[in-house]
């Protein structure tokens, strides 16, 4: 907490462009939270260090990180009111990570489901960074004395291990870290694949029709929704068990148009899937068009982005280093 303000912290990996799922499930909610200027101090990371658990093409990686920064801003996060920064620009993240490694147990890391899932997908690259990923994430959060961490249900386990590490450290050395709370908003829809609606929409999906990207043009977006998997019926009705594809499209339409599931059902009562899928595609395309325009303007204004990146890196370093120095002093390191 800074003064009377609570600290809110979140971030995304700098790999590829964002999907509609990233936008509706997280980014759009961050923007709505940015209105609470008097109540919260907000830090949003470009999590480029986390991205290194997979091999990256250096030039593409740099481009993707800058693109992600621009997408944050284009979506509505004002970099003058929100501290948007590159994780790698704050060395305290990796310094605190090593210290916290020494306070994290193997059994805790063995239980992390993300490590198991990613190890199965990338059996040729099961590296130590992938294994200790949750400790770096804990360092990210704890460095800023975070009160609230906006996450989806699938990330809740990472906040839980972060809390366990912080409590363990505090029990030994006193009240060093704020114990963060996961902040799960009901409005944060969990958007599923358009082709396999039992799986979460992913930017790494090999099927190009499975995910809508934020930078897709209008025709591409509408075409992807026209090809979206539904079922053999024709009724627009919310039933995730029997009508997973239709239910996913209803969640997307409701999130974009700010309508409840009942309202969506009534709107399309008596209409078939063809009309429904076109309406969803059109609504999403209209939602994303201003974002794409603002994104292009930001990338064209190199000096503006460079300035904001530099200013926010300095701000993030200031707060992170305060916590790091406190930790170093508590554990007995010699501080220059």
What are the catalytic residues? 118, 200, 203
Diameter over CA atoms, the chain? 73
Tell me how many degrees the CA angle 260-266-272 measures, rounded to the nearest 5.
115
CB-based contacts of 81, cutoff 8 Å, min separation 6: 34, 37, 42
Helix (H) or strand (E) holding 39: none
CA 174 to chain CA mean position, Å: 31
Q: Edge-to-edge strand order for the sheet containing 6-13?
A: 83-86, 40-47, 6-13, 148-150, 181-183
Distance of CA 99 to the CA centre of its chain: 25
In our burial notation (b when 16+ CB lie closer than 10 A, e otherwise), range 140-163 reads bbbbbbbbbbbbbeebebbbebbb
């Amino acid at each position: 907490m800074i003064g009377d303000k609570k600290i809110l912290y979140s971030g995304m990996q700098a790999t590829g462009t964002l999907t509609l799922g990233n936008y509706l499930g997280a980014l759009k909610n961050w923007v709505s939270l940015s209105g609470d200027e008097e109540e919260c101090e907000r830090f949003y990371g470009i999590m480029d260090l986390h991205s290194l658990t997979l091999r990256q093409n250096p030039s593409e990686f740099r481009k993707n990180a800058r693109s992600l920064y621009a997408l944050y801003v284009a979506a509505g996060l004002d970099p003058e009111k929100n501290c948007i920064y590159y994780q790698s620009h704050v060395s305290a993240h990796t310094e605190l990570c090593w210290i916290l490694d020494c306070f994290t147990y193997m059994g805790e890391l063995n239980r992390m489901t993300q490590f198991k899932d990613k190890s199965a997908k990338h059996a040729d690259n099961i590296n130590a960074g992938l294994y200790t990923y949750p400790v770096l994430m804990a360092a990210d959060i704890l460095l800023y004395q975070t009160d609230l961490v906006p996450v989806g249900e699938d990330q809740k386990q990472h906040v839980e291990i972060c809390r366990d590490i912080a409590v363990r450290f505090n029990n030994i050395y006193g009240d060093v870290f704020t114990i963060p709370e996961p902040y799960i908003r009901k409005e944060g829809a969990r958007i599923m694949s358009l082709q396999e609606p039992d799986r979460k929409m992913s930017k790494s999906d090999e099927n190009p029709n499975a995910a809508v990207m934020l930078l897709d043009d209008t025709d591409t977006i509408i075409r992807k929704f026209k090809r979206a998997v539904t079922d053999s019926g024709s009724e627009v009705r919310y039933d995730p068990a029997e009508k997973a594809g239709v239910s996913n499209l209803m969640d997307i339409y409701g999130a974009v148009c700010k309508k409840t599931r009942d309202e969506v059902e009534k709107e399309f009562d008596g209409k078939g899937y063809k009309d429904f899928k076109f309406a969803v595609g059109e609504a999403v395309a209209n939602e994303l068009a201003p974002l794409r325009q603002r994104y292009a303007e930001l990338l064209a204004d190199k000096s503006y982005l460079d300035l904001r990146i530099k200013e926010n890196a300095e701000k993030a370093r200031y707060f992170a280093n305060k916590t790091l120095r406190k930790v170093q002093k508590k554990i007995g390191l010699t501080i220059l």
